């Protein structure tokens, strides 16, 4: 698998593949922030904002590519407000057919190496029910820091979320 996997920065040509993953996750009703399927025209604006954020170093976006096909995205976006400039918020999307192959681990390890140049802390929240993700984050050095009650509302049910943070050394 590793020889076929490329982790690289997001680029303009990735729009269709990223949009496809976004729609797939929404249809799956996965533990992601948005279940509404955006119109392609609307999502182009979001995608362009991502590219601008990356260029201005307010975000880092990496894609996982296998055999020239984009199958995952990992992003860290700078927190809003100058007093939180040192914090990046992380998300990760892996296409359903490519989960369980180590892509998430590879994306996250690469992201952490890059993010330490720009951030002191990487933070995320994850549904308590998403045991696989929590295990991955813990193995990579993220620490549980708190609980957000009823943070997600999915398919008519509330889910609590755990806040997890990764502290770079010397912070």
Q: What is the pLDDT of residue 156?
A: 87
Listed as own residue / partner, the contacts of 107-113 with beta carbons closer than 8 Å and 24 or more positions apart are 107/7, 107/62, 107/64, 107/72, 107/74, 108/74, 108/136, 108/137, 108/140, 109/140, 110/7, 110/62, 110/74, 111/60, 111/62, 111/74, 111/76, 112/140, 112/141, 112/166
Q: What is the pLDDT of residue 83?
A: 83
pLDDT by residue (tens digit) across 48-59? 999 999 999 999
pLDDT by residue (tens digit) across 104-157? 999 999 999 999 999 999 999 999 999 989 999 999 999 999 999 999 888 888
pLDDT by residue (tens digit) across 67-86? 999 999 999 999 887 888 89
Cα 40 off chain centre by: 20
Residue 28 predicted with pLDDT over 90: no
Distance of alpha carbon 142 from alpha carbon 82, whole angstroms: 24
Domain parsing of the chain, residue ranges:
5-124
Average pLDDT score over the chain? 91
Distance of alpha carbon 15 from alpha carbon 84, whole angstroms: 29
Top-level class of domain 5-124: alpha beta
* Mode of pairing for the β-strands spanning 87-94 and 121-127: parallel
End-to-end CA distance of the chain: 35
Using DSSP's 3-state secondary structure scheme, residue 158 falls into strand
Q: What is the pLDDT of residue 12?
A: 96
Distance of alpha carbon 52 from alpha carbon 57, whole angstroms: 9
Distance of alpha carbon 62 from alpha carbon 171, whole angstroms: 24
């Amino acid at each position: 698998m590793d020889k076929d996997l490329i982790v690289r920065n997001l680029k303009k040509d990735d729009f269709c593949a990223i949009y496809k993953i976004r729609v797939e996750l929404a249809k799956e009703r996965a533990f992601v922030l948005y279940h509404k399927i955006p119109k392609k025209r609307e999502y182009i604006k979001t995608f362009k904002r991502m590219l601008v954020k990356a260029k201005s170093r307010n975000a880092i976006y990496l894609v996982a590519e296998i055999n020239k096909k984009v199958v995952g995205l990992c992003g860290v976006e700078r927190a809003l407000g100058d007093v939180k400039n040192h914090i990046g918020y992380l998300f990760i999307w892996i296409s359903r057919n490519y989960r369980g192959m180590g892509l998430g681990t590879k994306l996250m390890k690469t992201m952490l190496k890059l993010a330490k140049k720009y951030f002191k802390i990487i933070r995320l929240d994850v549904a308590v029910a998403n045991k696989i993700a929590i295990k991955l984050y813990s193995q990579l050095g993220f620490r549980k820091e708190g609980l957000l009650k009823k943070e997600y509302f999915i398919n008519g049910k509330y889910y609590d979320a755990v806040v997890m943070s990764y502290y770079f050394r010397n912070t």
